[in-house]
Amino acid sequence: MEMKSKVLITGGTGYLGKRLVKASLGQGHETYVLYRPEIGVDIEKVQMLLSFKEQGAHLVQGSFNDRRSLVNAVRLVDVVICAISGVHIRSHQILLQLKLVDAIKEAGNVKRFLPSEFGTDPAKMENAMEPGRVTFDDKMVVRKAIEDAGIPFTYVSANCFAGYFLGGLCQPGHIIPSREHVSILGSGKEKAIYVDEDDIATYTIMAIDDPRTLNKTLYIMPPRNILSQREVVQIWEKLIGKELRKSSISSEEFLASMREQDYAEQVGLTHYYHVCFEGCLTKFEIGDEGEEASKLYPKVKYTTVEEYMKRYL
C-alpha cells in the first residue's frame, strides 16, 4: 500500500483548520499541528489541541517569529497546509506565510505546500474593487513567492463557506436564517457556489497526494450547490413551509452603505459584492491550470445546500 504523506497544519485551531486536522487524521495521515508559544491562557485552543492529541495528532511548538522553529517543524513532514486567517474581521495574516515559504525553502524536503486560500481564486480577481482586493493581492504575493522558490503546491479555491453564506441566506452580517424576512441583493439571480466546511477539508486532504492536483488549483464546485440567492431562499422557504417577506438592495445602495463601514467590514462587503452582484465565482471556465474536486473524487458524498440548511430548523 502506498505510504500516505505526513502533514503539518498551521492554524489548526481555527474555523477551517480544526476541520483539516480532523480530515487528515480521518484519512490516515500522520498529522502534526503547529501551536504557538504565544497561546498563553487561551483555554479553548489548549483544550482543542489536547483533543487533537487524543485523536492521534502530534503537537509541535513553533512560531512565525522564530524561523528555526518553523524549519524544524517543516522537516518533520511531507506536506504543509496553512490555514491561518485571511479574514479582516478576524485577523488578516496572509503575508505571514512568506515566513513559512522561507522555512519550507530552507528545509528542502516538502513535497507539497497548500497556502491559506480556500475562498475565491485570487488569480481571477485582478479587477476586484478596493479595499477588498487587498485579500486577493496578498494571496498573489504569497503565490509568487511559492513559485519563485520552486516549491510544489496546490491552491484550493473553495468559494463560499456554507456557514457564512447559507446561514445568512447570502446576507452580510447574518449567520442564522430568518423565518420572516430576507434582503435580496440585486436581482438575486447571480449564481454562487456554497460548500460545507467539512467537505472543504475532505477534498483538500484527498488532494495532497494526488498527482493530478500538483502545481494546480483545486476548485471545489459541487454541481448541486451552484445556486442563486433566490434559489437558496426558496430552499429555506420549502424547509420552513413559509414564504419570507422580501425587499431588495440595489448595487448602488449596497456600495453606499458599505462605504459607511470601517475598513475591515468594507473588505468583507467588497467580496460579497463581487459574489452576489457580479457572480464572479461562475463567470470562468477551469483551464489546464485547474481541476474540479467533485469530478476528481466522485465517491465523496458532499453536503447539498438543502441538507446543510436543515440544521437551522
Q: Give the C-alpha separation, 174 to 169, whole Å.
A: 8
Of 160, 284, 148, 297, residue with least CA distance to 227:
160
> CB-hemisphere CA count at 13 Å for 230?
9
Q: Give the C-alpha separation, 310 to 131, whole Å.
A: 35
Phi–psi pair at 279, nearest 5 degrees: 65, 40
Give yes or no for a cis peptide into 37 (omega within 30° of 0).
no
Phi–psi pair at 8, nearest 5 degrees: -110, 130
Is residue 139 flagged as an active site residue? yes
Q: Residues 139, 246, 283, 295: which is the catalytic one?
A: 139
User: Hey, how many other C-beta atoms are within 10 angstroms of the C-beta on 301?
Assistant: 9
Of 140, 146, 156, residue with least CA distance to 20:
156
List, in sequence order, every residue forming a beta bridge with 113; answer none if it has no partner: 80, 153
Residue with cell 485579500: 135
> CB-hemisphere CA count at 13 Å for 206?
19
Q: Cα dihedral angle (54, 55, 56, 61), rounded to 10 degrees?
A: -60
Residue positions annotated with a catalytic role: 139
